[in-house]
Structure 1
Amino acid sequence: MTEQERSEARTPTEIDRIAEESLEAETALSPELRVYLGIDGDKSEYTDYSPAGVEPRKAMLAKSIAALEAEEPVDDIDWVTKTDLLRELRLQQEIVDSNWHQRELNNLESPAQSTREIFDLMPNETEDDWAAIAARLANLPAALAGWQETLAEGIAASNTPAR
């Protein structure tokens, strides 16, 4: 039996359920991931880059971390899933707790780039694809206004990327 066949025959565990729930929560908070990962759902939405978007992210991270920490792996796949997902979630939590979002301004990776580059990844074959692109374009000003509000909050708190 190959590794893939073993994986397909494996009964999903509580850790698997938590990982799936965490992914669903992440795509709800960062809808662009639906495009990056090829997941069905509304393709017109953006992450809430405003200061109000931070608290739901903190809550999601705390919930997912607590749920994973409470579970014991039943096999090696569970161990890897738990170890890696906890590492990633804890890193995200550290980033959020550091208020990085208040100073997320650089020329390689920030909302300025991600709000633009998502259009390169969106399908554009059908009328529905173009309708999704148009809807995302219509939502762009609000996404950028939220990010601008967050950067202004960072400036007010002396938490800036550069002088």
Structure 2
Amino acid sequence: MANYTLAEKDSFTVLGIGIELKSDYTDYAGINKEKADFWTTIQQDGTLDTLKKIAANEYIFAVNEAVNNKMMYYAGVLTEDTLPEATRMIQFPKGEYLVVQGEAETAEQLGNMLTGIAFGQVLPEAKDFAYVGGPNTTVEMGQRNGLVFGEVWIPVIRK
């Protein structure tokens, strides 16, 4: 099984700007293309820079959340501020989180890798805990040695 930790986290809120993902939830190639196109758009139109200006720290969140039976995907930051163009204040509950760390050449590669490890390896093999829904996020934490590093945070409960 992949290296992971379980960490207790206080509740936190991410201000997100997002889109509804239209691909079927089993169409990983389609979902990944929609996510990549979204990031390209918000980097080019200045939306990501606007978010970064009001952020409480350097972290950039890529959040997956089911809302009203829709797959939503957000770029977000930790902040006390709001923006008119913000789509949602995403509430993450206090509790235990599955945390997988990693690094990759790009933020997109990092997110895909960490999500794949968490949902493809760790959670299917976990015997003591389970993901029961709620928002989950990959967190781009910075760069070192030419690579992007970060974590995936998935709320879990003990079985």
Scaled by the length of structure 2, the TM-score of the pair is 0.28
- Larger strand percent: 2
Q: Which has the larger radius of gyration?
A: 1
